[in-house]
Chain A
């Protein structure tokens, strides 16, 4: 494909990727963050200790995480239709990406919270703080650098997943690479798209690391 026809295609694909990844990342934060916190505070010895709830939550998360994304994408088509009214295009793909990203990020948040010193949680309890204060000012505050690192990992995984969105006509850079580069043996498109994805991943990683370092007061 000549470069002048490739350029607008690429640009649209690039925005589609950002759009899908952006929406699912937002969903991961909105749903995955509280889920991760809940997983952590229902653990043994913490203020909302609740083993049954934690086990059920953990099991549900593991179910979603064990389904290969490409199958999840197809399996969720009815839900996608219900939610956004269509099963094709980047918005439709964003639904499946969000569902995949949420449990992934929840586990990452849970892990980041485990790094918070138990003694600090106790000190906050001893001072008479409410659970909400402990979550906001101790857990999320002290674990924020770890959570930002986790968000970076999630974003980069989503960029990878988004390549499969082509199955439902989701578009995006990865989809372009498969359709033109792989199926049509067009090396120009293949190499260009890979370079774009490489740059995107580099930028996301760099920004994530910088923010995490900036807010880390250790």
Chain B
């Protein structure tokens, strides 16, 4: 468990004080995948780097598994860092060392013997699927493979926490997905708490249980990922969510439209019921589906549908009310002309 209490980080840039993180309090449960999303400069990276004290906070405390990290220094801090793995956007492997040596480096930091290192590196390479790259140098690996080495290095000393600093931002979509699956698997099989920072809502949607939205060094919204997707409270959260749920319809179709344009959000169980056909049978309206998709967030479906309703004005209103009662998420985008 990670407890962040009133964390503040102030930088001195050219003799001017810049607040990176502003009185953030946060509790991350053991075994969860926690996401922190925000635009660049929001302070999310600083917050993450305070957890293993790569940056020392100006004030506040961070307690990881009952240890006050912020009170540590020197050997005690190094000892604590063994239990907090970290992976990076730019992978940060030692260029002049092989895959084996890069992972062994972390184990040597923990004072492991040669035979222990041999066995453990083999286990780790097997887990990340890179047994055949044992003696390759980082320059001979693809981005995804480098990140896998990074993950193996981070997990070498059986940490309880894994910090991911934009870990997939330098990767293509297919590789991103495979790395996210690996992180999910690590979380499930080893029970490691994972903290992910990203500017991509896709990443949050894919693996996180809970998410905090950061802006100007503060957490503006926090909650379960599904809840944030269905009921975003803050404009910033809404803009992140919109990015994933956005339905783009060709301008030509919108021009030709005569009926009322509504956007329906189906949540959880509602997404599995035949609400749409019920509506069209109950009321004398015609429905024309312009766009639609279903996203699965933590295996719970979330459907978005762009629908054009035409017919008698009052019937359309009643149909909208009917659907609104059953989905809690009908938004009239444009009335009939």
In the complex, how many residues of chain A place their beta carbon closer than 8 angstroms to a beta carbon of chain B? 21
For B150, the chain A residues whose CB sits under 8 A away are 123
Contact with A along B67-98 (1 / 0, CB 8 A): 00000000000111110111010101111110
For B78, the chain A residues whose CB sits under 8 A away are 128-130
Question: Do B105 and A218 touch across chains, with their CB atoms under 8 A apart?
Answer: no
For B157, the chain A residues whose CB sits under 8 A away are 127-128
Question: Do B95 and A128 touch across chains, with their CB atoms under 8 A apart?
Answer: no
Q: Which of B106-114, B243-251, B273-281 contacts A (4 or more CB under 8 A)?
A: B106-114
For A52, the chain B residues whose CB sits under 8 A away are none
For A133, the chain B residues whose CB sits under 8 A away are 105, 108-109
Complexed CA–CA distance, A129 and B157 (Å): 12
A125-B54, A127-B81 known; A119 vs B105 contact (CB < 8 Å): no
Question: Do A124 and B81 touch across chains, with their CB atoms under 8 A apart?
Answer: no
Question: Do B139 and A117 touch across chains, with their CB atoms under 8 A apart?
Answer: no
Rounded to whole Å, the gap between the CB of A86 and the closest CB of chain B is 43
For B52, the chain A residues whose CB sits under 8 A away are 126
Complexed CA–CA distance, A6 and B256 (Å): 100
For A141, the chain B residues whose CB sits under 8 A away are 94, 96-97
Chain A positions 31-54 with a Cβ under 8 Å from a chain B Cβ = none
A127-B81, A217-B137 known; A142 vs B105 contact (CB < 8 Å): no
Instruction: Identify which of B81, B94, B137, B163 contacts A128 (C-beta below 8 A).
Output: B81
Chain B positions 307-333 with a Cβ under 8 Å from a chain A Cβ = none
For B93, the chain A residues whose CB sits under 8 A away are 120, 123
Instruction: Identify which of A119, A129, A217 contacts B90 (C-beta below 8 A).
Output: A119
Complexed CA–CA distance, A141 and B234 (Å): 48
Instruction: Identify which of B92, B109, B154, B156 contacts A119 (C-beta below 8 A).
Output: B92
What class of interface size applies to chain B in its complex with A?
20 to 34
A selection of 30 A-B contacts at a CB cut-off of 8 Å is A117-B95, A119-B88, A119-B90, A120-B92, A123-B86, A123-B92, A125-B54, A125-B81, A127-B81, A127-B82, A127-B85, A127-B86, A127-B106, A128-B80, A128-B109, A128-B110, A128-B157, A129-B78, A129-B108, A133-B105, A137-B97, A138-B94, A142-B94, A142-B95, A144-B96, A217-B95, A217-B96, A217-B97, A217-B137, A218-B139
**Closest A-B pairs by Cβ, 9 of them:** A123-B92, A128-B81, A119-B92, A129-B109, A126-B86, A128-B82, A127-B106, A128-B78, A217-B137
14 further interface pairs, Cβ-Cβ under 8 Å (given A126-B86, A127-B157, A129-B78): A119-B90, A120-B95, A123-B88, A123-B92, A125-B54, A126-B54, A127-B86, A127-B105, A128-B79, A130-B109, A133-B105, A133-B108, A141-B94, A215-B96
A residues near B, CB below 8 A? 117, 119-120, 122-130, 133, 137-138, 141-142, 144, 215, 217-218
